[in-house]
Amino acid sequence: MLIRLTGSSSHDGDMTTMDTQEPTLRQGDEGIDGWAEYLQGLLILEGHKTVTINGSFDDTTLDAVRGYQLHNGLLVDGVVGNQTWAALRHGDAQMAGTDGREAGTYVEDTREARWVWDGEVVTHDAAADELKFVAINLGSAELDASTLPNASCRITPPEGAAFDMELAPRNESVSTPTEIGKLFFYVASNVNAIPAGRYKAEARLPAELSGDHSESHFEIPAR
């Protein structure tokens, strides 16, 4: 979901003129979608081990957000807006600002997903002959891979022309739909035949899940 904001701001607690794809989260926020769980998982990955993934922006989450903002030179206001999301998702730096909604009013009411980060979401599994791109369910319902469209990926080799690959959805547990706030995958098969080298992989989720873009790199070893 892409939201156009207008206005100006000096921090995450007010509006600013920009596009955003993430809802602003504040203390007390909780809901039926997976955004709070996503935030908590990212904070844990950043070393804030006291955080619990419970879907509630509680006091412990607030303390971790403030600590993360302080450590990373962001505005320390405890609000997870454009600037803080961009840092947590390893994306391009953003000016501070929010999604323009009143606190506590955001509700996801559709299928929604993001790549876990803006970059480096792929692993090469040589034994399985696959590339696996990691995504997260942030919508209002479980995601069954059998009902999802493929994602797309542009592969750029160290030399020569770029080429496109289809990425097929896969639940983490093949027989079980992905719960809200949980990880799933998009997978490219038959990749070991690609010549050895370091490649850039620009993956894009289907438009109905968000159209989120991520740039990653992987290496095919010499054989």
Given this model, what pLDDT does residue 104 score? 79
- Please provide the average confidence, as pLDDT, over all residues in the chain: 88
Cα end-to-end span (Å), the chain: 43
Given this model, what pLDDT does residue 17 score? 34
To 10 degrees, what angle do helices 35-45 and 59-71 make?
Answer: 50
Given this model, what pLDDT does residue 162 score? 94
pLDDT of residue 97 exceeding 50: yes
Q: How far is it, in rounded angstroms, from Cα 122 to Cα 139?
A: 22
CB 17 within 8 Å of CB 100:
no
Q: Which of 105, 84, 80 is nearest to 94 (CA)?
A: 84
Q: How far is it, in rounded angstroms, from Cα 9 to Cα 99?
A: 12
Given this model, what pLDDT does residue 31 score? 78
pLDDT of residue 84 exceeding 60: yes
Q: Which residues contact 36 (CB under 8 A, 6 or more apart)?
A: 25, 29, 30, 54, 55, 56, 57, 61, 181
Phi first, then psi: give them for residue 209, nearest 5 degrees: -100, -15
Exposed (0-12), middle (13-18) or buried (19+): which is 119, by Cβ within 10 Å? middle
Q: What is the mean pLDDT of residues 185-190?
A: 95
DSSP 80: B
Q: What is the mean pLDDT of residues 186-206?
A: 94
- Reported as a single tens digit per residue, the pLDDT across 11-43 is 344 433 334 479 999 999 987 789 999 999 999
Given this model, what pLDDT does residue 36 score? 94
Exposed (0-12), middle (13-18) or buried (19+): which is 9, by Cβ within 10 Å? buried
C-alpha distance from residue 92 to each of 1, 73, 82, 87 (Å): 19, 14, 11, 8
pLDDT of residue 105 exceeding 90: no
pTM, whole model, 2 decimals?
0.85
Model confidence at 136, pLDDT cuts 50, 70, 90, reads very high
pLDDT of residue 143 exceeding 70: yes
Given this model, what pLDDT does residue 221 score? 87
Model confidence at 100, pLDDT cuts 50, 70, 90, reads confident
